[in-house]
Amino acid sequence: MTTQIFGDFIEEWDNDAEYLKVSFSPFSASLKQRWQTNGLSADFIGDYLQTFFVGKPKNPSGINTPIPARSKNAVKYIANELLENAMKFSDQVSFSPTKIALYLYNNQLIFYVTNSINPSNVDNFQAVLRELTHEDPHDLYFHRMEANASDENNTYSGLGFLSMICDYSAKLGWKFETINQTSVPIITVTTMVSLNI
């Protein structure tokens, strides 16, 4: 198995953490039919984690501060964005499940979403990630919004990732793994999002 890492990827580690893991089976329903499950899943994950935040002091928030990680919207937004990306870009041919895992530590919340990816999409996706990890994200965020306004076909804009970095102060990382045990290699990507809480 070959592995490539982008960004600030932290390996999964469930010691000393509350964790929640959900797997979504691969199935032949269309993206349009499956789309509604993203919001439902993100709602469940947001509600689930709120039980651990009850009674803890809220992060300060002001007109110029990032959105607090302990707000229900933060968890739901990030979970939803990760699931949307996984649903849009997972390789239906590979019949690999999509998985989301959350680990809650004392001062950190880490999401991992793993999905298969069509080999023909890997290069474009990795080019977006190189840009995300080498450019100033705040400048890139607004440049990307301007570019998207005039380019309808911008499939890999990375706007969702940039919104997590800029609006939620998240750290992101990606791990690509190529599994050669089957007759046709399967490539999976794990997207990691880390929030300080």
Partner 1 sequence: MVTISVEHDKWAKESIISGMGERFAEIPTLTNSISLGEKYMEIKTDDYHITYQPDSASVICKGSLLLSSAEEYMPILQLLNGAAEQHNTLTLDVKELEFLNSSGINMFTKFVINVRKKPDLEMTARGYQEIPWQVRFLKNLQRLLPTLELELE
* Contact status: 54 vs partner 1 (CB under 8 A): no
Burial 160-176 (b: 16+ CB within 10 A, else e): ebbbbbbebbbbbbbbb
Distance CA 94, CA 87 (A): 13
The encoded tokens of residue 95 equal 């019949």
* Contact status: 170 vs partner 1 (CB under 8 A): no
In contact, 196 and 164? CB cutoff 8 Å = no
Applying CB under 8 A, which of residues 5, 31, 93, 127 lies at the interface with partner 1? Answer: 31
| Residue with Cβ nearer partner 1 (31 or 93) | 31
Which amino acid is it at 94? Answer: S
**Number of amino acids touching partner 1 (CB under 8 A):** 32
Q: Are strands 98-104 and 18-24 parallel, antiparallel or unpaired?
A: antiparallel
Please name which of 190, 169, 176, 197 lies closest in space to residue 82, comparing C-alpha atoms. 190
* Contact status: 128 vs partner 1 (CB under 8 A): no
* Contact status: 81 vs partner 1 (CB under 8 A): yes
* Contact status: 29 vs partner 1 (CB under 8 A): no
* Contact status: 23 vs partner 1 (CB under 8 A): no
- Output the smallest distance, CB 105 to partner 1, in A: 22
Angle 105-81-118 from CA coordinates, rounded to 5°? 110
* Contact status: 121 vs partner 1 (CB under 8 A): no
Query: Of the ranges 72-80, 105-113, 121-129, 187-195, which one interacts with partner 1 (CB under 8 A)?
Result: 72-80
Q: Which residues of this chain interact with partner 1, rule CB under 8 A?
A: 31-32, 35, 38-39, 61, 63-68, 71, 73-74, 76-77, 80-81, 84, 88, 142, 145-146, 148-149, 152, 157, 159-160, 163, 167
